[in-house]
Amino acid sequence: MDSYTLITGATGGLGQEFCRQCAARGDNLLLTGRSEQKLEDLRAELLKSYSVKILTFACRLDDELERQSLCDFVAKAEVKLSQFISVAGVDTQMAFERYTREKVLFQLRVNFEAAVALTHALLSFRAEGFSILVVSSISGSCPMPYFALYSATKSALVSFFSALRVELKDKGVKVTVLMPGSIPTRPDIIEDIKIQGLKGRLSSKPKDFVVKKALSGARKNKRIVIPGAFNKFVYFLTKITPYRLVAAFVARGWKNKEKDAFSAF
């Protein structure tokens, strides 16, 4: 029976890079994203360069029924999973009272619920040596005013998967959480990095570097991978600095900034 690496958010900038690097090391791939056409285009592109098997399944991760359909597809295809890489995420940023109810639920479901629910379901399809790699964010290192929902969901990923790592250790399952800084994958993110000046440039790392560090860290069974010396320093600083100072600094920088690059529909 063939084994596959399942990647969510496969058609996004970071997701595509995970697909390329996993295919380059010879992994068969099971790719999911919201657009069937984008998945097929990505599949065709990858097959031009890599001799691997690639399955695709379009799925809205905020929808429980569609997630179940994805799991049913895995069962019907009779494949085993060697790795689950959870990349999909929503980085909407605004004052909490500015959210609609739909956007609150959308971000919660994609960023946290989907990763946890899929992990629970996919453990049944794991091959020997199964590993889980979940994309969080350096923003999950502390509560961030005006980025509160995003930072909370990313922090929840770190907490949950760090605990799960201990539960699954004796069963031979590896669990790693990636906490990157800014990754210039979309025009709005590139603009954000530019606006932040020196801090943005120091935090930003190219997607190929981030993915290489993530896959290496997962292979070495690291609990947390933080790409870049500056981001490691920021992570450490948030742990030793009184939160009132961190919160004031973050609020000052993000109060008048809004970003809403995703639609739930």
Domain boundaries, the chain: 3-254
Q: Which residues of 127-138 are buried (b: 16+ CB within 10 A; e: fewer)?
A: eeebbbbbbbbb
Q: What pLDDT band is residue 193 in, cutting at 50, 70 and 90?
A: low
pLDDT of residue 262: 66
Mean pLDDT of the region 8-36: 97
Segment 91-103, tens digit of pLDDT: 888 899 999 999 9
Does pLDDT of 216 surpass 60? Answer: yes
Does pLDDT of 184 surpass 90? Answer: no
147, 250 in Cβ contact below 8 A?
yes
**% of the chain residues with pLDDT over 90:** 77
pLDDT of residue 195: 66
Does pLDDT of 263 surpass 70? Answer: no
Segment 113-172, tens digit of pLDDT: 999 999 999 999 999 999 999 999 999 999 999 999 999 999 999 999 999 999 999 999
Mean pLDDT of the region 43-54: 97
pLDDT of residue 12: 93
109, 59 in Cβ contact below 8 A?
no
CATH topology of domain 3-254: Rossmann fold (3.40.50)
pLDDT of residue 179: 97
Does pLDDT of 112 surpass 90? Answer: yes
Does pLDDT of 202 surpass 80? Answer: no
Does pLDDT of 265 surpass 50? Answer: no
pTM: 0.94
Nearest-angstrom CA–CA distance, 79 and 127: 9
Mean pLDDT of the region 225-246: 91
Segment 4-21, tens digit of pLDDT: 999 999 999 999 999 999
CA distances from 197 to 110, 142, 204, 207, 254 (A): 30, 21, 11, 19, 14
**Contact residues for 153 (Cβ-Cβ < 8 A; gap 6+):** 107, 108, 111, 112, 140
